[in-house]
A and B are shown apart, each in its own frame.
Chain A
């Protein structure tokens, strides 16, 4: 079945440095939708960005990601981390199956 891999459980970096959270996926279907959800402490998880178009950059709130079907990747990036970016980030996949599959999440900790 479909699966999503987020290898890093925790990413810690200093404010101002670039952010890259890795996400790879597996599906037998060609029409994959990929998502990034963000979960801030004491809030509900919410959609950050999504894409189904190969090699097209998607941006929202300073974050961006590009779906690369050739490498089955959808890494989340930001040019300069802010303290307020500290949160739990989930990558997710939807294909021809009935459900959206989430990765295990990556906690981003931004230090001053």
Chain B
């Protein structure tokens, strides 16, 4: 089985731009997570979907971050507009047991100038 895939692997954006990150979960997994990874904050949850329904929207990330799950095998994370403080690694993970065992993708490294 293919693992979690994420595209692009690297993204460079100018401040104010809109960027869309993509994720394909492991086939058959009902849970999908988006995280932001930074050295200071560690792994911060951005969104959590269960069977395509949004369960958690990450609180503080609501205003410029929007995740969608268009079907069970594809999700996007839109950041609009981007700010330099958004520079981080964005990780997608999927699970079949409500997040107890999460399978992570390789991440997208975002740099906002």
Contacts and interface: CB of A to CB of B under 8 A. Distances in A.
A61 interface: no
Nearest to B55: A98
Interface in A30-86: 33, 35, 37, 44-47, 50
A50 B91 CA distance: 21
A90 B33 CA distance: 16
A105 B42 CA distance: 6
Interface string A7-32: 00000000000000000000000000
A44 B106 contact: yes
Contacts of B55: 98-99
Given A102-B43, A103-B42, A105-B43, A45 B100 contact: no
For A94, A99, A105, which residue has the most chain B Cβ atoms within 10 angstroms?
A: A99
Interface centre among B44, B45, B50, B100 (most CB of A within 10 A): B100
B110 interface: no
A50 B101 contact: yes
Nearest to A47: B101
Interface residues of B, number: 26
A56 B93 CA distance: 28
12 contacts: A6-B42, A35-B100, A44-B107, A45-B93, A45-B104, A90-B42, A90-B43, A98-B48, A99-B56, A99-B99, A100-B99, A102-B42
Contacts of B45: 99-102
Nearest to B98: A94
A65 B78 CA distance: 38
